[in-house]
Structure 1
């Protein structure tokens, strides 16, 4: 099997890396993080128009470049290296994943808007009581004529403060944790009855508690079959885990590189601390963990097109490994830097925060160990 990137994928990677190196410095990022908006619309516009990466993973039929999951992997690794906070994962990977799988008129309408940068999607799936169980839903969607009435509360909806649409999971039948009866909707963010409580997250992003009170959803907003949405949700979340693993590869690469650079400059007893054998061993261990993360990411991405069980096993095994890599590399980076490793002034502390958030996003290592075991049974 050929594991080399195509010429087009290499060109996309190099273009993104060059753009971010030129325009997305740490200081520029922090200015955006501390600003009122919490993201940079000019960067998003450049992603759409200058780089064209918002369409890289979509078919030519919808105006994209005809790529797929590998293209998302390439882009997400560069996003991780630069610690980009703009909503590529939630909009292109997750929102695009749902729309590509659901198809139909709604996909034909919204995907071109994702590609041109005018549609931003937030995934409203988590609930306060649900932990990582995608089927644990109190949010309900009651049939009303040719549409639905949605009521409920979604927690920690990443990118919700500036989203134009929400993808919402809601229960149309069954009990609170039943696998049947889950439906998925694409709801305009300005719909009557939606309220938000916005806040910053520890890694510099923005999220919100989103409340739905008698929100009207037309039948055309339903993604997939009514009451049979859980397999679709699981598929897209597995795709998101693969993309998240690629981001983690970029984050941990940067943590290792910055730590190595610091160790070569920081002197103790008249010598750079990089000369001390015990720290050399530690940084080699960090490098090996990063390379394993990269390999697991590629393996998972290549398995996204397999049957549901094989795909899920690959995603869970990757999340287990990625969570451990993020913790090992992040903690060692901070330890070698010392106290300044967690300061706001130094980039490594912010990479450590993002690595820590990735550990638990879409399930921590313990959850995915249990999921993998259940799949084996």
Structure 2
């Protein structure tokens, strides 16, 4: 699929690639072994570049852009494995803020755009294949608010977020779509315990435990028991963002593998001369083009409000797991033992794509969802 960027999108891509050239190298990824807070200066640079303002309305200080511009930005950042909580804070957190009460929007969105507020979406739970309907954590509705009890697992940016967007069950049983509610919760509120951890790709998250945490009714997002549609729409944009970032990473994997095949010699000739490896790199190229085309199709359908957009989003997430795995495995195989080490960028990109496959449902889950969404 052909996609021609307009001037605004090209500026976003150029600024992101310039940032990547100045701030991304293998040594920085190798050093990411400790749980450390995001450098405040880096996040402030995101704000100064205008990236935090991309999806928000001008009345809140945003740029009034959409999912297409977010895709362009994140694909470029994915080329450098930039480990900033953009998806957690801007795409998901900001997406939910746009559905909050107007007074909350007026206060929180400008703070986010200025780099003074970070968010995280607490949805995953232990021992449950991810889907909104599988949410079991309880929210007890009382006159003065909703009391939260339970544990959320692998909350991306949960260790550093100032606000948590928490998905809970306030009515019904596990498996019901009705009865889900979303609320904004102060991450430092009494009764919240955060246990930070690193993910396989070196990023940071947290297990978040809630013990009798009272959330006033005004911090509900949407209507009580009616949050499923809002969560679906924000997750759709998040899945596109994750896929865009990984398409950037996969393109680098392909490029580095082809370049390596030209310099690594065996039996006195570059290994790229061997027909068997040429065939394998051709398969990588085909998988790359299929993945990028599906990303473009899903993004443009979402931007246009096409009725088939949800199915297209499931398709790109499924392809990310299947086609992405093909590119990752071939890249490691062609690089040999070095592909498994931290010495080369290949291993770091492979871990990122592998981790992304499991976020909010893996390839198999989205393939089944895509099939179920057929008209």
Q: TM-score range by the shorter chain?
A: over 0.9
1:314-329 aligned within 5 A: 314-329=312-327
TM-score normalised according to structure 1 size:
0.95
CA–CA separation in structure 1 for the residues paired with 2:262 and 2:3: 33
CA–CA separation in structure 2 for the residues paired with 1:180 and 1:353: 36
Contact conserved, 1:40 with 1:86, CA < 8 A, in 2?
no
1:276 counterpart residue number: 274
1:63 counterpart residue number: 61
105-114 or 181-190, which deviates more: 105-114
2:84 counterpart residue number: 86
Contact conserved, 1:123 with 1:166, CA < 8 A, in 2?
yes
1:303-342 aligned within 5 A: 303-305=301-303, 310-342=308-340
Contact conserved, 2:195 with 2:206, CA < 8 A, in 1?
yes
**Do the aligned partners of residues 99 and 364 (structure 1) sit closer, same or farther apart at CA in structure 2, a change above 3 Å counting?**
same
Q: CA deviation at 1:181?
A: 0.7
Q: CA RMSD in A?
A: 1.7
Runs of 4+ in 1 over 6 A off after TM superposition: none
CA–CA separation in structure 1 for the residues paired with 2:88 and 2:30: 21
Is 1:216 the counterpart of 2:214? The answer is yes
Q: CA deviation at 1:102?
A: 3.6
CA–CA separation in structure 1 for the residues paired with 2:123 and 2:237: 15
Contact conserved, 1:29 with 1:84, CA < 8 A, in 2?
no
2:285 counterpart residue number: 287
1:7 counterpart residue number: 7
Is 1:262 the counterpart of 2:254? The answer is no
Q: CA deviation at 1:260?
A: 1.1
Contact conserved, 2:29 with 2:348, CA < 8 A, in 1?
no
The count of aligned residue pairs is 375
Q: CA deviation at 1:190?
A: 0.4
Contact conserved, 1:235 with 1:308, CA < 8 A, in 2?
no
1:20 counterpart residue number: 20
Structure 2: unaligned runs, 5 residues or longer: none
Q: CA deviation at 1:334?
A: 0.1
> Deviations for 1:128-166, whole angstroms, at most 9, x for unmatched residues?
132112121221111222321111110111111111111
Aligned partner of 1:128 among 126, 130, 133? 126
TM-score normalised according to structure 2 size:
0.96
Counterpart secondary structure, 1:97? helix
Is 1:192 the counterpart of 2:175? The answer is no
CA–CA separation in structure 2 for the residues paired with 1:62 and 1:248: 30
> Deviations for 1:171-220, whole angstroms, at most 9, x for unmatched residues?
11111221101000111110110002211111001111111001111112
CA–CA separation in structure 2 for the residues paired with 1:333 and 1:345: 15
CA–CA separation in structure 2 for the residues paired with 1:29 and 1:64: 31
